[in-house]
Amino acid sequence: MAIKVCVFDAYGTLFDVAAAAREAAAEPQNAAIAESWQRLAADWRRKQLEYTWQRAITGEHKDFWSVTQDGLDWALEAQGIADPELRERLLALYWQLAAYPEVPAMLAALKQDGFATAILSNGAPDMLNGAVASAGIGDLLDDVLSVESVGIYKPAPQVYEMVTKRFGCARDEVLFVSSNGWDAAGAAGFGFFTVWVNRAGEPQDRLGHPPDRELRDLATIPDIAGAV
């Protein structure tokens, strides 16, 4: 079947998760992370994801904002930093993450070509709405779907099922895009046509469900959606 719906993960896919640490590190009052912000950003993201997996497995769900704060606290402690003002600044910036440069034009092209567009994210609804508003892409999305509706994190299949229920489509009518290899694998196993945005040039995850396409950025997503 032809693709009808193009769905995107949010953090790391549409929005640059390193932006908060990078912007904070450039501010004079945050000299403590001026040289180590990249490590901080990587640790923060890694723990954020690890905590979602742990909570999905154990059934002890906490919303993504809580998980995001827990991950940051671990990352700061790992660097020996105890600075409440820096912590609050980093968290505030997370609500205003920059979209990758190609995102607005890519979404606009999809809409012009008649595709439905949506976000499917682990993010809490208010976090996602803040990021979408900050990036100015709200009018280019038909919906923003959060795992809070089902109370479990990706890659649980009931998360991906939210898309087919919302748009009344078959699984093979969905193009799903993520920067996370494990997320792309989960979506592929569910039956979506998947694109892995591998900006860092990392090896492919060995999870049994390889992506249908691998890209370095999102610019050619409209071409792929139209060709499937």
Look up 139 and say whether it is catalytic. no
Contact status, residue 174 vs residue 192, Cβ threshold 8 Å? yes
- 78 Cβ contact partners less than 8 Å away, ≥ 6 residues apart: 43
| Preceding omega of 155 cis (within 30 degrees of 0) | yes
Task: Please tell me the distance from the alpha carbon of residue 201 to that of residue 223, in angstroms, as a whole number.
Answer: 21
Q: How many residues does the chain have?
A: 228
Of residues 202 and 1, more confidence is placed in: 202
Percent of the chain with pLDDT over 70: 100
Q: Where along the chain do its domains lie?
A: 5-15+98-227, 19-94
Into which CATH architecture does domain 5-15+98-227 fall?
3-Layer(aba) Sandwich (3.40)
* pLDDT interval class at 208 (50, 70, 90): very high
Which of 9, 16, 43, 63 is catalytic? The answer is 9
Structure tokens at 137: 């892409």
Per-residue pLDDT tens for 148-207?
999 999 999 999 999 999 999 999 999 999 999 999 999 999 999 999 999 999 999 999
Task: Please tell me the distance from the alpha carbon of residue 45 to that of residue 145, in angstroms, as a whole number.
Answer: 21
Q: Is 177 exposed, middle or buried (0-12, 13-18, 19+ CB in 10 A)?
A: buried
Contact status, residue 117 vs residue 140, Cβ threshold 8 Å? yes
Question: Which residue in 11, 174, 29, 197 sits closest to 95, CA to CA?
Answer: 11
* pLDDT interval class at 1 (50, 70, 90): low
- The CATH code of domain 19-94 reads 1.10.150.240
State residue 51's pLDDT score. 98
State residue 129's pLDDT score. 95
DSSP string, the chain: ----EEEE--BTTTB-TTHHHHHHHTSGGGGGGTTTHHHHHHHHHHHHHHHHHHHHHHT----HHHHHHHHHHHHHHHTT---HHHHHHHHHHHTTPPBPTTHHHHHHHHHHTT-EEEEEESS-HHHHHHHHHHHT-GGG-SEEEEGGGTT--TTSHHHHHHHHHHHT--GGGEEEEES-HHHHHHHHHHT-EEEEE-TT-PPPP-SS---SEEESSSTTHHHHHHH-
